[in-house]
Chains A and B, each alone.
Chain A
């Protein structure tokens, strides 16, 4: 309406109340923006407080570890003077004896032992025994008396470890998750081969995730193609087969696979009846009846089953937007059906393939329940070791360090996904 009026003499367009239009618009814009912020704020605050903060506080444990410094307070101070070459001085041993007496009273000895044991295998029981016996030392010299309790206190390496732990921050857990550790002189070295398991676990996690992603793509792509190209009525019926498992509880599906994959169970029966067992035996892939219970095979099959809809649906929704005229055009220009499919149709589906595969790969990295139930001990992924670090070892540093590594891998892929696909374009069902 302002446009209808002639421009005022100063050449500034004004709103009805006389403020310049530019200002009024900016004001309205700001109001609108504040309103939008106000709508988003409750959820944003909720997610930050109830979800992000807890995760970051927990992951902080990967580097923050005050157990030794807090429970051997005077020892670590006395150790500052030690050059690290020979045994520490009498002073250090006196401080150590005093700290240990206190720790024995407050029942903190086991905690010290547990922490030191991460770096010196077998020291936990020695620390506990020392805690029990240290009360008997009433006066100095402490050095010989302490070493008499256990000769581990006569090793410079023990004291180097305690000195390293004197800071509340430690690179120990993160290094350990890369199968590395700090030597006596503080340099970084490989851990012995019989202890080096974490790189393998990381590789295994990535390997299983890749394999499952690949399987879902191989199985899902043709299905998506057929769903996108058949008439709507048939497609909606076929779609039920895809969506029903998608909506079924993950635990139910995992349980189902666990039951089916027993030795001599339904899946093995199926293999016997269809002759797959016979063929496999003939090819020498298998020896005797199928052994599927708690195996890598069962894990990959179950995970592929669970992830298939996540890969398939984004591909399907991209395929639906591809007009059949392109294929017709390609063929009419003389391309063979196969050639046209590869050169004309497939490139157009790539965004869907990328979206589906990335999503599946990201979700696979975090699998815990399925490998735990259908897999064996060598099929467990990073998440499984995080759970067992808490449940069977109560080792928060290790759980957090594994968590940091898993989270970094996930976030990198999430970032790529967001750039490539756009998080706001994610669709469900």
Chain B
């Protein structure tokens, strides 16, 4: 992008220094991810450049060691259960809150969003003590319930955002054409809010998939998730397998990011928002 010819020298300097500054910040944002990925191919187990040789052995460890694969499976299972529960509960609530004149809407919304705001250590310690009394600590169900509580705010927020631009006359149109409420929901509302639901679901998935503090307190060794395995590995000693795991997770989050971006565009197109 060229500078317009009417810019003064001062403006030109400001313009170019802004660009340099922004590039440096973007570099800062991306650098730790970029810098660590190559280290996962290091043939030796240390973390400085230049690397003496290349090896895939840390990936072999990640994909074939029972500890890591078990943790990966456990994380997927917990995250999927959490996503389904959170998306279901969160979407319902967002639909309810979207109705006009909802009593004490702001307060109820604030309560529903609170798991995102309350420091997670407080949630984790509180849930540990309370769930233990219900015999839910150190169980899979306990972890799933806790993660669902942490994940629903994201669903509520994304679906609410989609609904805020939702044209309610469409529902009335459906109803006046004689469709029963659930038909209106599945044929009219659902397709329109689906992008919001899916991106909310992805947020919920990531929340659970990345969560470490709650599992640190609530999970027993039998519910060892990937973040827990990574965390205990880091505290133990950083093996390059952790950088391999990190690289795999970065690729995974890139895929999720692309999905959410595509969904957002689709949603904007559906709702007729100018991109």
Residue ranges of A at the interface with B (Cβ–Cβ < 8 Å):
29, 32-33, 35-44, 46-48, 50-59, 219-220, 222-223, 225-226, 230-232, 234, 238, 240-253, 255-260, 262, 264-266, 269, 305, 308-309, 337-338, 362, 365-366, 368-369, 373, 382-383, 386-387, 390, 396, 399, 403, 406-407, 410, 414, 418, 422-424, 426-429
Known A248-B253, A255-B234, A386-B121; judge A414-B246 contact (CB<8 A): no
Residues in B neighbouring A264, C-beta threshold 8 A: 48
Question: What's the nearest-Cβ distance from chain B to residue A265, in Å?
Answer: 6
User: A96 vs B10: C-alpha distance in the bound complex, in angstroms?
Assistant: 83
User: A257 vs B243: C-alpha distance in the bound complex, in angstroms?
Assistant: 12
Tell me if A50 and B148 are in contact (CB < 8 A).
yes
> B113 an interface residue at 8 Å Cβ cutoff?
yes
Chain B 140-157 interface 0/1 with A at a Cβ cutoff of 8 Å (1 = within): 000001101100101011
Known A55-B126, A252-B249, A369-B212; judge A247-B227 contact (CB<8 A): no
Residue ranges of B at the interface with A (Cβ–Cβ < 8 Å):
1, 8, 10-11, 14, 18-19, 21-22, 25-26, 28-30, 32-33, 35-36, 39, 47-49, 89-90, 92-93, 95-97, 99, 101-103, 105-106, 108-115, 117-123, 125-127, 129-131, 145-146, 148-149, 152, 154, 156-158, 160-161, 164, 199, 203, 206, 209-210, 212-213, 217, 227, 230-231, 234, 238, 242-243, 246, 249-250, 253-254, 256-257, 260-261, 264, 275
* Among candidates A33, A52, A226, A396, residue contacting B19 with C-beta atoms closer than 8 Å: A226
Residues in B neighbouring A423, C-beta threshold 8 A: 106, 109-110, 113
User: A36 vs B94: C-alpha distance in the bound complex, in angstroms?
Assistant: 9
Query: Total A-B residue pairs with C-beta atoms closer than 8 Å?
Result: 274
User: A47 vs B152: C-alpha distance in the bound complex, in angstroms?
Assistant: 9
Tell me if A362 and B18 are in contact (CB < 8 A).
no
Per DSSP, are chain B's interface residues mostly helix, strand or loop, or mixed? helix
Tell me if A225 and B253 are in contact (CB < 8 A).
no
Tell me if A406 and B1 are in contact (CB < 8 A).
no
Tell me if B126 and A43 are in contact (CB < 8 A).
no
User: A52 vs B114: C-alpha distance in the bound complex, in angstroms?
Assistant: 9
Q: Which residue, of A53, A253, A366, A423, has the highest number of chain B Cβ atoms within 10 A?
A: A423
Known A362-B117, A386-B121, A407-B122; judge A39-B92 contact (CB<8 A): yes
